[in-house]
Amino acid sequence: MCSYKEITQIQCASACQINGWFSLKDIQQQLTAKQKMLTEQLYFPSDKALQQDRARAKEACYEYNQTSPASRQKAFKQLNKIFSSDNTAWIEAPFYCDYGYNIRFGKQVFLNHGVTILDAAAVFIGDHVMFGPNVVVSTATHPMDPAERKKGLESAHPIEIGDNVWIGMGAQILPGVSIGRNSVVGAGAVVTRSVPENTVVGGVPAKVLKTITSP
């Protein structure tokens, strides 16, 4: 995510706006594409620095995905370098992500084959979370305004997945969504809104099907 220097620049820019020293337009012009991406503003993903970050992550994913199962543990050490901190998640190949450094794994996380995480914004994954095969988690979205979309702009919005969540195969988690702890997302569901804790959701778009009660 943001480095200390980048966070400080964003905080200073916000203070300048509050005190009326600069306009919002002036502040936005001073931010890098990465800073705009991480603060949910419109940005150009074609920015060279972001392209380099994505290329690094995709190369790491490629190497991991091409490794034989017997060498997977060694290869995971290399894949782990793209993440912002060490993690102990079990990730089955193939695995795909955009940047890696915006993903936060909790303890004992399991990702089955074919998981894709488009982490232009932060993705927080809690403890004891399970992903079925071919789950897609996407923080990225494009403007509804066709003129802005034509320019190649996009924005990204964080996703949070609570502890003990099970996401069924083929489910899609859309930008800005939070999934409460202990919840279950049914196979093939498209989650467009936040999910309360202790619930089962399913369908397109996903709706609450029932509440989970402890025995």
Give the residue numbers marked as catalytic. 142
With H, G, I as helix, E, B as strand and everything else as coil, classify residue 165: coil
Residues in CB range of 204: below 8 A, 6 or more apart? 188, 189, 190
Residues in CB range of 209: below 8 A, 6 or more apart? 186, 199, 200, 201, 202, 203
DSSP conformational letter for 153: -
Residue 83: half-sphere exposure toward Cβ, Cα within 13 Å: 21
Residues 50 and 34 sit within 8 Å (Cβ to Cβ)? yes
- Beta strands per DSSP E along 82-181: 90-91, 95-97, 103-105, 110-111, 115-118, 123-125, 130-131, 136-138, 140-141, 155-156, 159-161, 166-167, 172-173, 178-179
